[in-house]
Amino acid sequence: MEVPGTQGLAGRRHAHMVSEVFGAGVLLLDPQARIVEVNSEAEVLLGRPAADLLDQDVHDALHRDRHGQTMPRSSCPIRQAFHRGRAAQGQLGWYERGDGTLLPVQWVITPCRTTDGTDGAAILFHRHRSGADGEERGEGSQEALPELDRLALLAETTTTLTSTLDVHEALRRLTRLVVPRLADWVVIDLITEGDEVWRAAVVHYESGLLVDREDLQGPMPPIPQESVMPLSRALRGAASTLAGPENYQGPPDAGIAVAQRRMFEATGMHSAAIAPIRGVRQVLGALTLGRSERPEAFSDLSLLEDIARRAGLALENARLYQRQRRVTETMQRHLLPQLPRVPGLEMAARYVAAPEASEVGGDWYDAFRLQDGTLAVAIGDVVGHDADAAAGMAQVRNMLRAYAWSYQEPPSSIVGRLDQAVRHMTDASLATMVFARVEISGEDGQRCRVRWTDAGHPPPLLVTYDGQARFLDDVEDLLIGAELVPSRQDAVVDMPPLSTLIFFTDGLVESRVRSLGEGLDRLSQHAAALAHRPLDALCDLLLDRVRPADNDDDVALLAVRRPARTAADPVAQEGHPGHDHGWAAPGRPSTRQ
pLDDT digit string, tens, across residues 258-315: 999 999 999 999 999 999 999 888 999 999 999 998 888 887 888 899 999 999 999 9
**pLDDT exceeds 90 at position 530:** yes
CA 307 to chain centre: 23
**pLDDT exceeds 80 at position 334:** no
Q: Please give the average per-residue pLDDT across 172-180, as a whole number.
A: 91
**pLDDT exceeds 90 at position 462:** yes
pLDDT per residue as tens digits for the range 336-347: 788 999 988 999
Q: Please give the average per-residue pLDDT across 17-46, as a whole number.
A: 79
**Phi, psi for residue 148 in degrees, rounded to 5:** -70, -40
Give me the CATH topology for the region 337-567: Phosphatase 2c; domain 1 (3.60.40)
- Least confident window among 82-91, 143-152, 429-438, 558-567: 143-152
Provide the residue ranges of all domains of the chain, joining segments of one domain with +: 10-135, 164-327, 337-567
- Which pLDDT does position 353 carry in this prediction? 76
Q: Please give the average per-residue pLDDT across 69-94, as a whole number.
A: 81
**pLDDT exceeds 90 at position 194:** no
The more confidently predicted of residues 377 and 146 is 377
**pLDDT exceeds 50 at position 569:** no
User: Does this model's pTM top 0.75?
Assistant: no
**pLDDT exceeds 50 at position 132:** no
**pLDDT exceeds 90 at position 472:** yes
> pLDDT grade, residue 251 (50/70/90)?
confident
- Least confident window among 207-221, 347-361, 411-425, 463-477: 347-361
- Residue among 18, 14, 358, 385 at smallest CA distance from 165: 358
CA atoms of 79 and 58, how far apart (whole Å): 9
Q: Please give the average per-residue pLDDT across 401-413, as a whole number.
A: 94
Judge whether 42 and 26 are in contact, CB under 8 Å.
Answer: yes
CA atoms of 164 and 406, how far apart (whole Å): 50
Q: Please give the average per-residue pLDDT across 419-444, as a whole number.
A: 83
- Which pLDDT does position 355 carry in this prediction? 61
User: Among 3.40.1260.10, 3.30.450.20, 3.30.70.100, 3.30.540.10, what is the CATH number of 10-135?
Assistant: 3.30.450.20
**pLDDT exceeds 80 at position 443:** no
Helix axes 516-529, 535-546, angle to 10 degrees: 150
- Which pLDDT does position 540 carry in this prediction? 95
- Which pLDDT does position 567 carry in this prediction? 41
**pLDDT exceeds 70 at position 99:** yes
- Residue among 381, 485, 363 at smallest CA distance from 423: 485
The more confidently predicted of residues 135 and 85 is 85
> pLDDT grade, residue 108 (50/70/90)?
confident
- Residue among 459, 403, 393 at smallest CA distance from 430: 393
* Cα–Cα distance list, 547 to 63, 118, 361, 505, 523 (Å): 47, 26, 17, 11, 9
- Which pLDDT does position 319 carry in this prediction? 87
- Which pLDDT does position 139 carry in this prediction? 36
- Which pLDDT does position 409 carry in this prediction? 94
**pLDDT exceeds 70 at position 138:** no
The more confidently predicted of residues 296 and 423 is 296
Q: Is 323 exposed, middle or buried (0-12, 13-18, 19+ CB in 10 A)?
A: exposed
- Least confident window among 51-65, 91-105, 140-154, 485-499: 140-154
Average pLDDT of every residue of the chain: 82
Q: Please give the average per-residue pLDDT across 57-70, as a whole number.
A: 85
- Which pLDDT does position 470 carry in this prediction? 96
**pLDDT exceeds 70 at position 246:** yes
The more confidently predicted of residues 217 and 128 is 217
pLDDT per residue as tens digits for the range 142-157: 445 677 777 778 888 8
CA atoms of 437 and 515, how far apart (whole Å): 31
Other CB atoms within 10 Å distance of the CB of residue 573: 12
| CATH architecture assignment, domain 164-327 | 2-Layer Sandwich (3.30)
**pLDDT exceeds 60 at position 359:** no
- Residue among 439, 419, 390 at smallest CA distance from 556: 390
> pLDDT grade, residue 318 (50/70/90)?
confident
The more confidently predicted of residues 471 and 159 is 471
The more confidently predicted of residues 582 and 343 is 343
Percent over 90 (pLDDT), the chain: 42
Identical fold for domains 10-135 and 337-567, yes or no, is no
